[in-house]
Amino acid sequence: MANRRRRARKDKPGPAGFLVVDKPAGMTSHDVVDMARGWLGIQRIGHLGTLDPQATGVLPLAIRGATKLVPFLQAARKRYFGTVRLGKTTDTLDGEGTVISEYEGALPRESEVQKALEQFKGTIEQIPPMYSAVKRDGVPLHRLARKGEEVEREPKTVVVHRLDLLRFESPSLEIEVECGAGTYVRTLAHDLGQALGCGAYLSGLRRLGSAPFDIQEAHSPEVFEKAIQEGGLETVLVPPEKALGLAVIRLAPPAVQRIESGGDISPGEIERERPGTQVSALDTKGRMVAILELSADRRLRPVRVLPA
- What is the per-residue pLDDT across 88-109, written as a single tens digit (0 to 9) for each? 999 999 998 999 999 999 999 9
**Residue from 253, 242, 252, 235 nearest 280 by CA:** 242
- Which superfamily does CATH assign the domain made up of 2-75+213-239 to? Pseudouridine synthase (3.30.2350.10)
pLDDT score of 145: 59
Q: At what angle do helices 110-117 and 185-196 cross, to 10 degrees?
A: 120
pLDDT score of 80: 98
Q: Look up the CATH number of domain 78-210.
A: 3.30.2350.10
With contact defined as beta carbons under 8 Å apart, do 123 and 114 qualify? no
**Residue from 293, 216, 218, 190 nearest 48 by CA:** 218
pLDDT score of 278: 96
Which contiguous run of DSSP H or E holds residue 176? strand 172-179
Q: Do domains 78-210 and 246-305 have the same CATH topology?
A: no
Q: State the number of CA atoms in the 13 A half-sphere of 185 facing the CB.
A: 32
Q: Look up the CATH number of domain 246-305.
A: 2.30.130.10
Q: Distance between CA 40 and CA 34 in Å, rounded?
A: 10
Does the annotation count 214 as an active-site position? no
3-state secondary structure of 238: strand
pLDDT score of 1: 44
DSSP label at residue 284: T
Distance of CA 175 to the CA centre of its chain: 19
Strands 200-210 and 172-179 turn out to be: unpaired
pLDDT score of 138: 67
Q: Distance between CA 253 and CA 45 in Å, rounded?
A: 28
Q: Which of 22, 52, 91, 94 is catalytic?
A: 52
pLDDT score of 11: 78
Question: Where do the domains of the chain lie?
Answer: 2-75+213-239, 78-210, 246-305
Q: At what angle do helices 29-40 and 221-229 cross, to 10 degrees?
A: 10
With contact defined as beta carbons under 8 Å apart, do 131 and 143 qualify? no
Q: Which residues of the chain have pLDDT under 70?
A: 1-10, 130-142, 144-145, 147-149
pLDDT score of 149: 64
**Structure pTM?**
0.89
